[in-house]
């Protein structure tokens, strides 16, 4: 638990097995993917501040909604 408090994403208890290791690795990779996606969309939102997003479809309305939802989020780098 001390490692998690110090910033570790996950930990394994010894002795461990292959399934526990696989689950831990998948959690860490999934978190990294989400952080990368969030950073991308935050960048897209900043771009959108200078230029409006063109489109009036329901899908574009959903994109705008998601951008406004996540644009103000802070994530650890």
The model's pLDDT over 43-61, given as tens digits with 9 standing for 90+, comes to: 877 765 666 777 889 999 8
Which pTM does this prediction carry?
0.46
pLDDT tens column, 2-47: 877 888 878 888 898 999 999 989 988 888 888 898 888 888 777 6
What would you report as the CA-atom Rg of the chain, rounded to the nearest whole angstrom? Answer: 18
* Alpha-carbon dihedral angle through residues 73, 39, 64, 61, given to the nearest 10 degrees: -120
Extract the tokens encoding 17: 């097995």
Q: What are the tokens at 51?
A: 């230029």
First to last CA, the chain: 21
């Amino acid at each position: 638990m001390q490692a998690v408090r110090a910033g570790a994403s996950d930990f394994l208890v010894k002795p461990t097995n292959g399934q526990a290791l696989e689950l831990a690795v998948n959690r860490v990779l999934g978190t990294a993917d989400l952080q990368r996606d969030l950073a991308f969309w935050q960048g897209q939102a900043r771009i959108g501040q200078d230029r409006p997003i063109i489109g009036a479809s329901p899908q574009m309305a959903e994109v705008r909604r998601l951008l406004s939802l996540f644009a103000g989020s802070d994530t650890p780098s």
